């Protein structure tokens, strides 16, 4: 950032954001994109809960209700939770390891645009009035049976977004393996970087199965395939296996970065080194491996037979062990710490009991015989919301408050942050705790309405009130964000005052080349070590300041994705229209042309000169005094 804010026109700013390959800006794009879809998914959730507030309600029709639950789940997992976590990974992880950017800035931007266009594609289904309606799991017999283009939107939209996710994952892996600053050994990496690493490795292995499954589904629905059609020799169960071979790792891809965020927050605000760092790393890796061995626990009732069920039940329960290790390490990190209850810390403290409850219900469901009772009941809904909202969403909110100053250079209001927490946290438990009992009392999940006199009325009413409270909390947060942005009070390097990791050693937001000179890392909690030694500059440079080589921005990633987006519509309409095939070919050709341009035209990048860096340094110093 040539920190003198140059006044530039709206067009230039827009162009800058469309073409950016800077990891910090892409991080912000991911975060805002994720927030947008979080709002959409949230509105869908509110309508679902309002429909279920009383028995025999007819706020929405049964068909629309199916659309709503499907889009709610799909949006929340693929378009809200993952992108927001990617936002933090992009913005923060390179800073934590002392890198100037991710390994492949161009691919990073491509990953973002694929997410954005994939999400757009999915949601355009609302305009067509033909919306995915077979649940976020889209089980094959049902999804093949679904009329209209709804499921086509699901298959193609997720294919595009999923490709972006895979690219982002590979990019993070290469970045962490190759671009750590001198001295940043694996066992000195902050936990958020570690969890990013393991989650990315899981993406690498889990997303190809999803890609294949979605292609099968696409062929079955749009190109006359019969992979899942048993009347033609296909097998409908394969979809379930493929989906869950992806799906279970996916839930850990979501929760591991959340664990990483909380690990940072705990040690910063307890002002203690993370307890059991080695055990934490080991547990993260172990969870990553075990996460691939348990997918069939989603299919206990399919009829795999007692042997298979027993094996998968035992494997499932094994995951609870490393998870437990983590919980105890967090507790022991807080233990005896000098605790500062800031907003992020509040979320972290709320996370522990909430997530433990979700873990316990998970182990209950992991017991195959019991799962025959629980499966497809509201108990399942309660379980996964306890882990996903009580784990992932709380972590996203914690990360949002914790890293907001680093990403935007302003500090979210603490009082409003705490108000958000209270409304959201109380609302969350109000909504989902009672759903465990709704499950016990026999209410099935994914039902449009229910009849009077089954003893479910009060519980459903309470649940809806809780959802309203969550919505109020979220609204307060949005107000907080808007107010903070308008006030625009700039903050320094380490606004929390207790930062331990490298990102807090540089300005907020950092200059676009991050580090004037690559830092030398001398141990875990790099910045903390410097602070303890009374270092003034807070960074020990590993090299003299020299010219820095940076990549140019590029519009090509967006155009490349646009081609796929167009091809998607072609694939969808080629059966009933004459122009479909042409559009499909045009879209793909367009993408290939952009790929060719990218390959043939080298981007040689440019240099930030030493003089400019020194000048920036000087400006920053002068600004500080």
Partner 1 sequence: MSEVQMIKRSPAEQSLSQRRAKESMRSQVAMFSLMIFLTLVSFSMVFAHLNDVPGFSKFFIIPTLFLFAAVQVGLQLYYFMHMNEKGHGIPQMFMFTGAMLGFLLPLTFVTIVWW
Interface contacts to partner 1, rule CB under 8 A: 177, 201, 204-205, 235, 237-238, 241, 245, 289, 292-293, 296, 304-305, 308, 604
383 near Cu ion, judged by CB under 5 A: no
Nearest distance from C-beta of residue 297 to Cu ion, angstroms:
5
| Interaction partner, residue 468 (partner 1, Cu ion, ligand HEM, none; CB < 5-8 Å by kind) | none
Q: Which residues between 129 and 148 bind ligand HEM (CB under 6 A)? A: 137
| Interaction partner, residue 5 (ligand HEM, Cu ion, partner 1, none; CB < 5-8 Å by kind) | none
Which CB, 289 or 328, lies closer to partner 1? 289
Nearest distance from C-beta of residue 228 to ligand HEM, angstroms:
18
Give the alpha-carbon dihedral of 322, 324, 330, 333, to 10 degrees. -90
**Residue 451, token pair as written in the block:** 């009849």
| Interaction partner, residue 292 (Cu ion, partner 1, ligand HEM, none; CB < 5-8 Å by kind) | partner 1
Nearest distance from C-beta of residue 207 to Cu ion, angstroms:
16
Burial class (CB in 10 A: 0-12, 13-18, 19+), 45: buried
Q: What Cα–Cα distance (Å) separates residue 316 from each residue in 80, 295, 303, 308, 311?
A: 27, 9, 18, 12, 9
Q: Which residues between 249 and 268 bind ligand HEM (CB under 6 A)? A: 251, 254-255
DSSP string, 156-204: HHHHHHHHHHHHHHHHHHHHHHH-PPTT--GGGS-HHHHHHHHHHHHHH
DSSP string, 71-117: HHHHIIIIIIIHHHHHHHHHHHHHHHTT-SS-S-HHHHHHHHHHHHH
Task: Show the binding pattern over residues 328-367: x = contacts ligand HEM (CB under 6 A), - = does not.
Answer: -------------------------------x--xx-xx-
Give the alpha-carbon dihedral of 345, 351, 353, 355, to 10 degrees. -160
Q: Which of the ranges 35-43, 248-256, 300-308, 459-467 carries the binding residues for Cu ion, by CB under 5 A?
A: 248-256
Q: Which of the ranges 167-175, 247-255, 336-344, 507-515 carries the binding residues for Cu ion, by CB under 5 A?
A: 247-255
| Interaction partner, residue 304 (partner 1, ligand HEM, Cu ion, none; CB < 5-8 Å by kind) | partner 1
Which CB, 15 or 441, lies closer to ligand HEM? 441
Question: Are 288 and 201 within 8 A, CB to CB?
Answer: yes
248 near Cu ion, judged by CB under 5 A: yes
Question: Are 558 and 598 within 8 A, CB to CB?
Answer: no
Euclidean distance between CA atoms 80 and 37, whole angstroms: 5
242 near ligand HEM, judged by CB under 6 A: no
Return the residue of 163, 391, 510, 553 that touches ligand HEM, per CB under 6 A. Answer: 391
- Give a three-class secondary structure readout of 91-102: HHHHHHCCCCCC
| CA nearest neighbour of 550 among 606, 499, 591 | 606
Euclidean distance between CA atoms 491 and 429, whole angstroms: 35
439 near ligand HEM, judged by CB under 6 A: no
Number of residues that bind ligand HEM (CB under 6 A): 25
Nearest distance from C-beta of residue 416 to ligand HEM, angstroms:
27
69 near ligand HEM, judged by CB under 6 A: no
| CA nearest neighbour of 131 among 118, 109, 146, 141 | 146
Which CB, 221 or 298, lies closer to ligand HEM? 298
Nearest distance from C-beta of residue 240 to ligand HEM, angstroms:
10
380 near ligand HEM, judged by CB under 6 A: yes
Q: Which residues between 296 and 315 bind ligand HEM (CB under 6 A)? A: 297-298
Euclidean distance between CA atoms 16 and 25, whole angstroms: 10
Which CB, 77 or 91, lies closer to ligand HEM? 77
Which CB, 375 or 500, lies closer to ligand HEM? 375
Angle made by CA atoms 302, 306, 311, in degrees to the nearest 5: 100
Binding site residues, ligand HEM, CB under 6 A = 137, 251, 254-255, 297-298, 316, 319-320, 323, 359, 362-363, 365-366, 371, 374-375, 380, 383-384, 387-388, 391-392
Residues within the interface to Cu ion (CB under 5 A): 248
């Amino acid at each position: 950032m040539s920190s003198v804010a140059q006044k530039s026109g709206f067009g230039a700013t827009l162009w800058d954001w469309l073409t950016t390959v800077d990891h910090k800006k892409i991080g912000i794009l991911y975060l805002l994109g994720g927030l947008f879809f979080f709002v959409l998914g949230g509105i869908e959730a509110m309508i679902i809960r309002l429909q279920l507030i009383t028995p025999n309600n007819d706020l929405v029709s049964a068909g629309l209700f199916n659309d709503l639950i499907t889009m709610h789940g799909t949006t929340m997992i693929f378009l809200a939770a993952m992108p927001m976590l990617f936002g933090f990974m992009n913005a923060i992880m390179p800073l934590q390891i002392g890198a100037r950017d991710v390994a492949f800035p161009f691919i990073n931007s491509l990953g973002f645009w694929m997410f954005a266009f994939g999400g757009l594609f999915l949601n355009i289904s609302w305009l067509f009035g033909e919306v995915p309606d077979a649940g976020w799991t889209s089980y094959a017999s049902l999804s093949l049976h679904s009329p209209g283009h709804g499921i086509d939107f699901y298959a193609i939209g997720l294919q595009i977004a999923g490709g972006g996710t895979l690219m982002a994952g590979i990019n993070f892996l290469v970045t962490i393996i190759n671009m750590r600053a001198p001295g940043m050994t694996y066992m000195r990496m902050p936990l958020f970087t570690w969890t990013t690493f393991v989650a990315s490795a899981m993406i690498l292995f889990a997303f190809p199965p999803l890609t294949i499954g979605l292609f099968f589904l696409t062929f079955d629905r749009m190109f006359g395939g019969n992979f899942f059609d048993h009347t033609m020799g296909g097998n409908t169960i394969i979809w379930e296996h493929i989906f869950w071979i992806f799906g279970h790792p996916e839930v850990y891809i979501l929760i591991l970065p959340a664990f990483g965020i909380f690990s940072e927050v705990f040690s910063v605000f307890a002002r203690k080194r993370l307890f059991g760092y080695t055990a934490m790393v080991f547990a993260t890796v172990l969870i990553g491996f075990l996460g691939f061995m348990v997918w069939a626990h989603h299919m206990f009732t399919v009829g795999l037979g007692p042997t298979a069920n027993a094996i998968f039940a035992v494997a499932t329960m094994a995951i609870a062990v490393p998870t437990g290790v983590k919980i105890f390490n967090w507790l022991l990190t807080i233990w005896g710490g000098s605790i500062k209850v800031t907003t992020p810390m509040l979320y972290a403290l709320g996370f522990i009991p909430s997530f433990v409850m979700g873990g316990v219900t998970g182990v209950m469901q992991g017991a195959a015989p019991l799962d025959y009772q629980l499966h497809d009941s509201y108990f399942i809904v309660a379980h996964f919301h306890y882990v996903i909202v009580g784990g992932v969403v709380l972590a996203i909110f914690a990360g949002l408050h914790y890293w907001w100053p680093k990403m935007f250079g302003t500090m979210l209001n603490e009082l409003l942050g705490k108000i958000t927490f209270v409304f959201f946290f109380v609302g969350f438990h109000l909504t989902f705790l009672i759903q465990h009992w709704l499950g016990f009392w026999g209410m099935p999940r994914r039902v449009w309405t229910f009849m009077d006199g089954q003893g479910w009325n009060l519980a459903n009413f309470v649940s809806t009130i809780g959802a309203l409270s969550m919505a109020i909390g979220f609204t307060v947060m949005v107000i907080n964000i808007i107010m903070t942005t308008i006030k625009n009070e700039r903050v320094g390097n380490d606004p929390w005052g207790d930062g331990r990791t490298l990102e807090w050693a540089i300005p907020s937001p950092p200059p676009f080349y991050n580090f004037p000179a690559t830092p030398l890392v001398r141990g875990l909690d790099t910045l903390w070590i410097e602070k303890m030694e009374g270092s003034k500059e807070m960074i020990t440079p590993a090299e003299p300041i020299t010219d820095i080589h940076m990549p140019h921005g590029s519009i090509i990633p967006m155009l490349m994705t646009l081609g796929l987006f167009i091809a998607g519509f072609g694939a969808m309409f080629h059966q009933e229209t004459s122009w479909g095939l042409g559009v499909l070919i045009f879209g793909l050709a367009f993408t290939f042309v952009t790929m060719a341009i990218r390959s043939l035209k080298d981007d040689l990048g440019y240099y930030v000169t030493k003089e400019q860096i020194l000048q920036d340094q000087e400006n920053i110093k002068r600004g500080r005094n």
